[in-house]
Amino acid sequence: MCTGKCSRCIGVTLIPLAGACIAANLLLFFPDFKLKYVQENDMLTPEILYLGGIVGAGILVFFPGLHIHATGTGGCCANRCGMFLSLIFATLGAAGSIYCLTMSTIGLINGPTCRDTSGHWSRPFHNNSEIPELGKDSYLFNPDSWSICEEPKNVVLFNVILFALQIGFSALEFILCAIQAINGFFGCLCGTCNKRRARPV
């Protein structure tokens, strides 16, 4: 495939993925779709506050996605210099996606912050400190243990779904950015191979 067409396909895919990661991270601020939890930082999972989806897989991928797409549209960026810049932007996007992937994975493993059955706000699934019956097993494979979180309502399922989406989206972003880094390298050497449309006489 032509390096320009490849860039266009990658760019047009990265942009909605970045938007989806931003949306997922924003939703995580509002468990049970209520505003009161965002007003107190200790009621939210720390990994939410690190903005992995908004900054990492969002902003740091969205703007590179725009430039990467521009290198394949035949405009001012569709040249060797533009492809070199797309390589740099792809590297930036890959770093952002790794950041989001890391934060989301940690957030998923450690579980949410919630008010447990004893009335305290904590992370009961972190190291299974408050659920000895789980042993060394992860709470992810024992949905019956999720009832220990009484508030926000269904916060465990809420976090699992949104963090899992961020993991999937950011992993896909990383793959696409890695492909674009290789594509950008060859684009520097060979150009974008975009054919200029002939002007009508």
Structural domain boundaries in the chain: 3-129+139-190
Mean pLDDT of the chain: 86
Q: Mean pLDDT across the stretch 81-91?
A: 87
- Place 192 in a pLDDT band, splitting at 50, 70 and 90: low
Of 168, 174, 162, nearest to 14 by C-alpha is 174
The structure tokens 């399922």 sit at 157
pLDDT, tens digit (0-9, with 9 covering 90-100), for 110-145: 999 999 888 888 888 887 655 666 666 788 988 888
Give 125's DSSP letter. T
Q: Is the pTM of this model over 0.85?
A: yes
Residue pair 107/47 in contact (Cβ under 8 Å)? The answer is yes
